[in-house]
Amino acid sequence: MADKEVNMTEQKPKATRDGFGEGLVELAKTNKDVVVVSADLTESTRASWFKEIAPERFFAIGIAEQDMFGAAAGLALCGKTAFACTFAVFASGRAWDQVRISLCYMNLDVKIGATHGGISVGPDGATHQALEDIAIMRALPNMKVIVPADAYQAKKATIAAVSLRGPVYIRTGRSAVPYVTSAGDDFKLGKADVLQEGKNVAIIACGVMVKNSLEAAKILSAKGISAMIINMHTIKPIDADIISSAAQQTGAIVTCEEHSVIGGLGGAVAEVVAKKGPVVPVEMVGVNDVFGESGQPDELMKKYRLTPEDIVIAALKAIKRKK
């Protein structure tokens, strides 16, 4: 786990949903068994990029998420790998029972392209900000949950999901985020990336919060605190070994996610700390069991306490709690 040079200004920021779309484009060109179903929102989810290349393998289902997942299941039962695309709130909330029975119980090759995750959706407000989806998706047997940190990773995760048996939930965001990985980096499902080594606290983040964690680490470093930064792109199956080893090395953990503090990345990490140990303080940065509201993404990140400064406060608190 060597320190890695992370260059956040190397390229123009890009939304993770664009990375998802690029993954679909690659699959449209290279894998004839991949099909896409879409519950409207086709341009927003970037499913349209697939449609442009392989229109015969694209199926609009209309604003009908339950039917979309059923159709995806039927396609998968006949040998296809189906990507079902809509916003994360609808993918997780409008059709949870269909995801449970028609996808997970049958362990079918349906990959859920859940875009517009988290509060950074912005002005659309609370109805469109998925803040509970990681929790309710990871509770399902056979489901895998990926939250890529940048567009490169989103593209790789999308392509990698096809070679995994069974359903995969890929949560991406609407807003542009700087790159925290490189085009050439490996992506292995269930294997977290240590972006930076550290001794005093381990910051474990997913999605756009990885970028904020790296910024928090700089602030902490100026205070003489050395923070380990882990990009936990796969929430399920979670990389338990890296969590245990981080707890061992630093003695304190902070989790960061653009999601409720209940049941998401924080919950998954706390489960590992409690069950596998060593038991260390865990502070959770996330949305504190409330609904969001309209606003610009940066305003909302600030109001709902998801900024690098909030991560710094949580890190200091976790360190203080060490015995």
Partner 1 sequence: MNKRPDIEKLKAVARDVRIDIMKMLTEAGSGHPGGSLSSVEILVALYFYKLRHDPKNPSWPDRDRFILSKGHVCPALYAVLAHAGYFPKEELMTLRKLGSRLQGHSKKDSPPGIEVSSGSLGQGLSIANGMALAMKLDKKPSRIYCLMGDGETHEGQVWEAAMTAAHYELDNICAIVDYNKLCIDGRVEDVMSLEPCADKWKAFGFNVIDVADGNSIEIVMDAFDKAQTAKGAPSIMICHTIKGKGVSFTENKCEWHGVAPNKEQLKRALEELK
Q: Is 27 among the residues that bind partner 1 (CB under 8 A)?
A: no
Told to judge if 197 belongs to the known catalytic residues of this protein, a careful annotator would answer no
Out of 4, 31, 53, 59, point to the residue binding partner 1 (CB under 8 A). 59
For residue 141, with 0-12 CB atoms within 10 Å meaning exposed, 13-18 middle and 19 or more buried, which class applies?
Answer: exposed
In the chain, the N- to C-terminal Cα span, in Å, equals: 27
Out of 44, 67, 93, 176, point to the residue binding partner 1 (CB under 8 A). 67
Out of 80, 128, 174, 236, point to the residue binding partner 1 (CB under 8 A). 80
Report d(CA 154, CA 92) in Å as an integer: 19
Q: Is 41 among the residues that bind partner 1 (CB under 8 A)?
A: no
Q: Is 98 among the residues that bind partner 1 (CB under 8 A)?
A: yes
Least gap, CB of 74 to partner 1 (angstroms):
2
Least gap, CB of 33 to partner 1 (angstroms):
10
Least gap, CB of 78 to partner 1 (angstroms):
3
Q: Is 69 among the residues that bind partner 1 (CB under 8 A)?
A: yes
Instruction: Kindly state the number of chain residues that form the binding site for partner 1, as judged by CB under 8 A.
Output: 31
Scan residues 178-197 and list those touching partner 1 (CB under 8 A). Answer: none
DSSP string spanning 63-88? S-HHHHHHHHHHHHHTT-EEEEEEEH
Q: Which stretch binds partner 1 (CB under 8 A): 79-87, 173-181, 234-242, 310-318?
A: 79-87
Q: Is 75 among the residues that bind partner 1 (CB under 8 A)?
A: yes
Report d(CA 58, CA 61) in Å as an integer: 10
Q: Is 71 among the residues that bind partner 1 (CB under 8 A)?
A: yes
Scan residues 132-161 and list those touching partner 1 (CB under 8 A). Answer: none
DSSP string spanning 11-70? S--EEHHHHHHHHHHHHHHH-TTEEEEE-S-TTTTTHHHHHHH-GGGEEE--S-HHHHHH
* Dihedral angle of Cα 83, 53, 12, 44, to the nearest 10 degrees: -50
Report d(CA 110, CA 253) in Å as an integer: 34
Out of 27, 47, 73, 269, point to the residue binding partner 1 (CB under 8 A). 73
Q: Is 62 among the residues that bind partner 1 (CB under 8 A)?
A: yes
What are the C-alpha distances in Å from 319 to residues 8, 220, 254, 307, 310? 27, 12, 10, 19, 14
Considering the complex, state which of residue 19 and residue 70 has its C-beta at the smaller distance from partner 1: 70
Active site residues: 65
Which positions lie near partner 1, rule CB under 8 A?
A: 35, 37, 56-57, 59, 61-62, 64, 66-80, 82, 97-98, 100-102, 105-106
